[in-house]
């Protein structure tokens, strides 16, 4: 198992947000967290990344406990987070945004290191925008730059927090194709979405969340075949 989250409970001060959340991701899988706004999707990513460490439970990466480690240590172990709010540097060029994120790969990785050239093959638009300030990019381009920048850190587990949020359907389609290419490369991906049709197309398995609890888990093929599950838990 690449990632094993077991019964985590996460709080913001006195607010109890995640209740005994457990999830597993095998190497090479694409898994999605589905749920409406405020159910705890971002908090799961923050818990895994060590930004808001859970108060109880365990998080194992390749069998080793990472709960209690600092975010930069967790990043160094191969976890790359693409945050919901797309934190690119507006006053750096697209290329500079990518260059500052580059680092040497780790020993356990199976794929070749990400380079700017490899990033350009996946996101040709970033080559076209090479010398433009980050702040001048459209929402979709900023999302691609955020993903690209995280890839430059050579993650083995990519965490994508609502990648399609606020994007036009055509841009979402492009990002969908890019995620499928990353999947083909062997990257393990955990993503969150409210836009469930997009998530169902790219993911192998799903977890449905409500108020910090996991209500349903299973294969996305099952969700596609039985729309009543989506109706019951997500109201769509
Ligand atoms: N920094 C914070 N302090 C207190 N409560 C927070 C904080 N961030 C999020 N929350 C609350 O935690 C719950 C889960 O939020 P979040 O994980 O962002 O949900 P999602 O990503 O599914 O929209 C929400 O009720 C939200 O209001
Ligand atoms: Mg969120």
Please report the pLDDT score of residue 227 as a whole number: 86
Residues 124-169: pLDDT tens digits? Answer: 999 999 999 999 999 999 999 999 999 999 999 999 999 999 999 9
Q: Is 206 exposed, middle or buried (0-12, 13-18, 19+ CB in 10 A)?
A: buried
* Superfamily in which the 3-234 domain is placed by CATH: P-loop containing nucleotide triphosphate hydrolases (3.40.50.300)
The strand pairing partners of 201, in sequence order, are: none
Please report the pLDDT score of residue 196 as a whole number: 80
- The ligand 1 atom at the shortest distance from the C-alpha of residue 209 is 22
Q: Dihedrals φ, ψ of 192, to 5°?
A: -120, 150
Distance 42 CA to ligand 2 centre (A): 4
Distance 161 CA to ligand 2 centre (A): 7
* Secondary structure of residue 88 in the 3-state scheme: coil
Ligand 1 pocket member 3 (CB < 6 A): no
Query: How many CB atoms are located within 10 Å of the residue 164 CB?
Result: 24
Cα separation of the two ends of the chain: 31
Name the residue with the closest Cα to ligand 1, atom 27: 38
Distance CA 5, CA 171 (A): 32
Q: Which of 16, 26, 59 is nearest to 183 (CA)?
A: 26
**For the chain, what is the mean pLDDT?**
93
Six-digit token string for 95: 């290329």
Ligand 1 pocket member 41 (CB < 6 A): yes
Six-digit token string for 135: 């702040």
pLDDT at 180 over 70: yes
Ligand 1 pocket member 131 (CB < 6 A): no
The secondary structure of residue 58, as a DSSP letter, is E
Ligand nearest to the CA of 34: 1
Domain definitions of the chain by residue range? 3-234
The strand pairing partners of 32, in sequence order, are: 191, 206
Name the residue with the closest Cα to ligand 1, atom 16: 40
Pairwise pLDDT comparison (118 vs 101), residue with the higher score: 118
Residues 192-212: pLDDT tens digits? Answer: 999 788 999 999 999 999 999
Distance CA 101, CA 115 (A): 10
Six-digit token string for 129: 């925008």
pTM of this prediction exceeds 0.85:
yes
- The ligand 1 atom at the shortest distance from the C-alpha of residue 37 is 23
Six-digit token string for 195: 């836009």
Residues 10-19: pLDDT tens digits? Answer: 999 999 999 9
Pairwise pLDDT comparison (7 vs 85), residue with the higher score: 7
Q: What's the angle, vertex CA 189, arms to CA 136 and CA 94, rounded to 5?
A: 20
Distance 124 CA to ligand 2 centre (A): 28
Indicate the pLDDT class of residue 110, thresholds 50, 70 and 90: low
Distance 160 CA to ligand 1 centre (A): 17
Name the residue with the closest Cα to ligand 1, atom 11: 38
Residues 29-39: pLDDT tens digits? Answer: 999 999 999 99
């Amino acid at each position: 198992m690449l990632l094993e989250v077991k019964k985590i409970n996460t709080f913001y001060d006195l607010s109890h947000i995640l209740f005994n959340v457990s999830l597993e991701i095998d190497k090479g899988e694409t898994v999605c967290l589905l749920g409406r706004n405020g159910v705890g999707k971002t908090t799961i990513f923050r818990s895994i990344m060590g930004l808001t460490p859970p108060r109880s439970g365990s998080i194992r990466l390749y069998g080793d406990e990472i709960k209690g480690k600092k975010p930069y240590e967790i990043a160094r172990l191969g976890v790359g987070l693409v945050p919901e709010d797309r934190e690119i540097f507006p006053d750096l060029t697209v290329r500079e945004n990518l260059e500052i994120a580059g680092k040497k790969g780790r020993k356990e990785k199976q794929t070749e290191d990400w380079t700017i050239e490899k990033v350009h093959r996946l996101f040709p638009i970033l080559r076209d925008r090479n010398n433009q300030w980050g702040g001048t990019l459209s929402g979709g381009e900023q999302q691609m730059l955020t993903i690209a920048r995280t890839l430059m850190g050579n993650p083995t587990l990519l965490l994508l927090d609502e990648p399609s949020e606020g994007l036009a359907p055509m841009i979402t389609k492009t990002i969908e194709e890019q995620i499928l290419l990353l999947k083909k490369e062997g990257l393990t991906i955990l993503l969150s979405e409210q836009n469930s049709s997009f998530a169902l197309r790219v993911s192998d398995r799903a977890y449905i969340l409500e108020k910090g609890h996991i209500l349903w888990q299973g294969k996305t093929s099952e969700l596609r075949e039985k729309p009543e599950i989506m109706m019951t838990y997500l109201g769509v």
